Amino acid sequence: MPIVVDHRERRWQVAEVAADLIAKLGIEGVTVREVSAAAGYSTTVVSHYFEDKSELMRMAYRVAVVRARRRVDEAAAKTGPRRLQACIEAMLPMDAERLRDWRVWFALWGMAVAEPALEREQRQRLKATVELVTGLLTDGAGGARAQRAAAARAEEILIAVNGIATQAVFDPAAWPPARQSAAIRAVLARLGEVSGAAERRTRRRRAG
């Protein structure tokens, strides 16, 4: 009886291997042959799922995006006064897994400059992330004006996230998790998004 292969799952598995190699070696250091060997498949099998290296790299980018979104969703599912900060911290390179994904993004952002498809995908990801954080700030409450104000705060938060992440990726000794956490907490405090203050503002928006 023939073995049933889940092609979507295998494609994802290969892309995950590629993402892990990119994090270690960069784009130039990763070849289809190396990905094939690390995944335990022949180059013929990998070439069956990906037209070329560029397509494989784009899929590796999506793997890192999905992994990051899962972490944020897990944090968002919890309750408590630190829920917002926990969600934002889920985006920061505060452990080996998150550091790996940031290394993938840094490697592939350079590729996006020359590849319109990846550039569009990155632009869409940025927009989706702003919408995600906006939703965390408002919990769906408030009218159009409140949503616009929240979106502006979300953009400020994400600018800080990118800056902190850049420092942490390239100078991890100077930016351990505790410093990253303190830095993002300071940003949230400046924007009035720390625990009690944010909750009181949310209640006022809902009441209004």
The mean of the pLDDT values for the chain is 88
Band (pLDDT 50/70/90 cuts) for residue 135 is very high
Amino acid identity, residue 74? Answer: E
Task: Answer whether residue 208 shows pLDDT above 50.
Answer: no
Give the residue with greater pLDDT, 142 vs 109. Answer: 109
- Is the CB of residue 46 less than 8 Å from the CB of residue 56? yes
Note the pLDDT of residue 196. Answer: 44
Task: Tell me if the pTM is above 0.75.
Answer: yes
Note the pLDDT of residue 131. Answer: 94
Contacts 24+ apart (CB under 8 A), 190-198: 191/153, 191/156, 191/157, 193/84, 193/137, 193/153, 193/157, 194/85, 195/81, 195/82, 196/81, 198/84, 198/137
Note the pLDDT of residue 141. Answer: 75
Note the pLDDT of residue 111. Answer: 86
18-31 pLDDT, tens per residue? 999 999 999 988 99
Structural domains present in the chain: 7-207 (1.10.357.10)
Note the pLDDT of residue 207. Answer: 45
